[in-house]
Structure 1
Amino acid sequence: MLASLAATACAFALAVPAHADGPYRNPDNKNRNDPAEGTYPVPYKKPVAAEITASLQRIRAYLESQTPTRIVHKDGGAPVTDFATPVADAVVAGMDSDLGLQVYEMGVVHAGLLKAAEVTGDKRFTDMTARHFNFFAERLPYFRAQEQRFHLERANSFSRFLDPRSLDDAGSMCAAMMRARRAGVGPDLSAQIKVCGDWVARRQFRLADGTLARQRPQAVSLWADDMYMGVPALAELGRMSGQRAYFDDAVKNVLQMSSYLADPQTGLYTHGWNANNPDAPRFYWARANGWALLSMADLLDVLPKDHPGTPKVLAQLRKSLRAVAELQSGSGLWHQMIDRSDSYLETSASAIFTYVIAHAVNQGWVSPSTWGSVAQAGWAGLSTRINDKGQVEGTCVGTTFAGDQVYYYNRPTSVDALHGYGPTLLAGAEIIRMLNNPAFSIEYRVRTYHYVPKDGGQTSYREHH
């Protein structure tokens, strides 16, 4: 009877769709009657590269279907066919949606698509990037002429490109365009890279010490988000141009933002800091921590090894990663307020953490022992948030720098929140890379997983035989 029940439970767990709730049993444990094997709220198993690739392909296909590259008349949606003479009501189809082609979140999507193509060798992942970027190159002159004639300002569908006004307008997409250019995906957008790069490097509001800042919600404010909105673009400008000043600026911003925002004991990042209230309560919103960690990882990927900032950035990343890893939940995901287990489990931050931890393992920045298991557990939780349509569920919508926990706790989640898609693509691709990493082996012992470095010595389980 017990054997029958165990087999039924296992069959049920394996039959449950990837996005459904458990219970799950570990299929790597071949003893279906093992009384010491538990059930889990997520698929607790060694990830399978083919399954991850299939999940990423569902996401790609969904995003392809939701991001048309068409110009239409705003009233009625009829297609615009004459591109010789601009009209005032011409807009990009869907530009007002959360999946707009030029929003900063889409820059992260392109980073994820490029990474997935690199890891899997499947060009379909970057077809969308090429389509979007070709559309930019082809239609930018049309919308520039529209602006010159009608002065639409922010109502112009290409306003972020024509008239960037913030790091959100410029940084993430600028980094994506440089990465695509380097990978040979899409057209050469050097002219637009110059516009957005100039905003990040020279025109964005800064503190007197050169730290990238904003003038909202207070007159002089820092956002942890802006580490990602600024630093990767500066890093890629350094790589593209060979000018060390860009690397210097990127390192300076990581270290100075960390001095303002990171808890000196734990390394966790508060969401923001206001100059007129520097001793305000600190609110540890998870996605803000994700942006900070991702910016450091992206910088370290291109920062010259002999740059004096390299060990400093790496030390900060390791410190913050440890704090984040220790706050992972029992489902592999992380909480909306990372230090508050009564806040909901949030997808975008969990995806960023999973990616950065797996990437740190693959780059040799941290040891695979323990860290590999943390990343694997992160993917186990994250995989349940990808539904059959390719939508990423459980992502917190856009969130401002706020001054109370009630706001953060009660931010809604939505499958239309694009913030979860790029990080999930990045995470899945990096987990595939980790599964194939020759520097260590993944051993299944005593009902769990051990990432054992090839130079870590011989393990022994003789006492268990």
Structure 2
Amino acid sequence: MKNIRSTFKITLIFSFLCLNIILAQEPANDVTTPLHLLQPDYPTPYGVKSIDEIVATLDRVYNYLETETAAKLIDATTKKEITDFKKLNQNSIFEPGAFRLTSYEWGVTYAGMTQITEVTGDPKYADYTNKRLKLIADIAPFYLEKYKKDKDYPSPIVQSLQPHALDDAGAICAAMIKAKRAGLNAELQPLIDNFIDYISNKQFRFPDGTLARNRPQANTLWLDDLFMSVPALAQMGKLTGDNKYYDDAVKQVRQFSKRMFNEEKGLYMHGWVEAMDYHPEYRWARANGWAVMTLVELLDVLPKEHEGYQDVLEQLQAHIKGLVQYQDGTGFWHQLIDRNDSYLETSATAIYTYSIAKAINNGYIDKMAFSPVVILGWNAVATKVNEKGQVEGTCVGTGMGFDPAFYYHRPINVFAAHGYGPVLLAGSEVIKLIKANTFEINDSSLQLKVE
């Protein structure tokens, strides 16, 4: 009983002292407190992350993908690894994994891994790309021989050897050329030539040469197709020095933009159908991401003396100015960019972060004006890389629609492959930005520090 009374007395004394301290303090108001320095309740971490923190995020993605994507062939019947590629057969498949090695999404992932090594000097990322691209190159001759006799012969790389859409060709072709230019020793050239031949000569085009599709309607432009073609053409121009590839790349940018870019908003529509008198403008985020990414990828290798260089540069600047007006306070962009009741989407946010950072790093736009947008974008993206290294919040593959419900209700999934490459690219380009500049918090806001 004495212990209880003692505890009660101590509690009363402590409470009395605390009350006196509170009563003795000046009330917080505009006179007694610098209210502008109160800490905001940000929904996303604010300020510049360290390079170590960014690398840690990239490492989680790398570790997950290294485990979850095939790096060898097996016999589907025996489950044994195939090391002698002269013994390939109809049962030869990639070992089971969560993602496809020859998809356009994985072309972006290969490019991202290659670039991280260039930025950090750590070879493991490029090794991820190199061993998989080399595997594809090593088995290609066997299947090409088989196709001469049987076009339907089963193959794990059929879409690379027999592309039927720009999705099959462009992104992985660009990644292969980048890897080749970075020093990968593999027989990639036959595959690269096959991809470029498809883009240049076999894909359906309008009479004026604009790359197009006949779905979902006849004579339809997909904004996505800028990315599925132009970076590969640009990289081929860099690889060969042949201006015809640059000329075609610039033509695509001009002709897509003429039909699909809203100059007032600074945004592209997703689809354009020739037969429509009125062209509905659904500004899907990831398609706009493919477009802005196309522009920075083209400028990265397009000779400055090319007659289209200034047009492409101005188009990029206009698009970035449009995009930044719609960044959400969380750092993300919305699934339909200009409709803020649509959900926040990760892959597009990562693509914008990468593209704007690259535009800053290459001197295309004002780094003082746009760097805080990039840092906020990366901080948002990093929150979507879970402990496993999976990228959350990514919209699944998406066709074309002409009503809002179609875009508003597209599912999200950690196995939507579109999120991984953009996260890798964004992180690598943000590292470059941080290495080259100094940032500070000035009156609670992030600012580029002018030396």
- Tell me the TM-score normalised to structure 2 length: 0.89
Count of residue correspondences = 420
Counting only pairs closer than 5 Å after superposition, residues 42-441 of structure 1 correspond to structure 2 as: 42-74=44-76, 77=79, 79-80=81-82, 83-94=85-96, 99-148=99-148, 151-152=151-152, 155-438=154-437, 441=438
Structure 1 residues 143-177: Cα deviation after superposition (integer angstroms, max 9, x where no partner) = 33444555436x53111122111111111111011
CA distance in 2, matches of 1:98, 1:267: 36
CA distance in 2, matches of 1:67, 1:330: 35
Residue of structure 2 aligned with 1:451, choices 425, 443, 448: 448
SS in 2 for 1:273: strand
Residue of structure 1 aligned with 2:40, choices 12, 17, 38: 38
Name the amino acid aligned to 1:380.
N
Q: Is the 8 A contact 1:147 1:156 kept in 2?
A: no
SS in 2 for 1:57: helix
Identity %: 41
Structure 2 gap segments, 5+ residues each? 1-13, 19-32
SS in 1 for 2:446: strand
Name the amino acid aligned to 1:406.
A
Q: Is the 8 A contact 1:110 1:176 kept in 2?
A: yes
Aligned to 2:11: none
SS in 2 for 1:135: helix
Q: Is the 8 A contact 2:69 2:98 kept in 1?
A: no
CA distance in 2, matches of 1:278, 1:241: 42
1:89 Cα deviation after fit = 2.9
CA distance in 2, matches of 1:117, 1:49: 14
CA distance in 2, matches of 1:328, 1:65: 34
Q: Is the 8 A contact 1:368 1:453 kept in 2?
A: no
CA distance in 2, matches of 1:203, 1:76: 39
CA distance in 2, matches of 1:98, 1:260: 37
1:76 Cα deviation after fit = 7.2
1:186 Cα deviation after fit = 4.3
SS in 1 for 2:272: strand
Structure 1 residues 232-287: Cα deviation after superposition (integer angstroms, max 9, x where no partner) = 00101111110111111101101110111111222201111111115231111000
Q: Is the 8 A contact 2:134 2:187 kept in 1?
A: no
1:90 Cα deviation after fit = 2.4
1:93 Cα deviation after fit = 2.7
SS in 1 for 2:262: coil
Structure 1 residues 289-323: Cα deviation after superposition (integer angstroms, max 9, x where no partner) = 00000000000000001111111111111111111
Whichever of the two has the greater Rg, that structure is 2
1:219 Cα deviation after fit = 1.6
Name the amino acid aligned to 2:287.
A
SS in 2 for 1:444: strand
Q: RMSD of aligned C-alpha atoms?
A: 2.1
1:370 Cα deviation after fit = 2.4
Q: Is the 8 A contact 1:108 1:422 kept in 2?
A: yes
SS in 1 for 2:297: helix
Q: 1:156 to 1:238 in 2, by over 3 A?
A: same
Q: 1:157 to 1:258 in 2, by over 3 A?
A: same
Name the amino acid aligned to 1:107.
G
CA distance in 1, matches of 2:81, 2:246: 44
Name the amino acid aligned to 1:411.
R
CA distance in 1, matches of 2:227, 2:159: 17
CA distance in 2, matches of 1:236, 1:35: 49
SS in 2 for 1:436: helix
Structure 1 residues 402-425: Cα deviation after superposition (integer angstroms, max 9, x where no partner) = 222111111111111110111011
Q: 1:133 to 1:41 in 2, by over 3 A?
A: same
Name the amino acid aligned to 1:202.
N
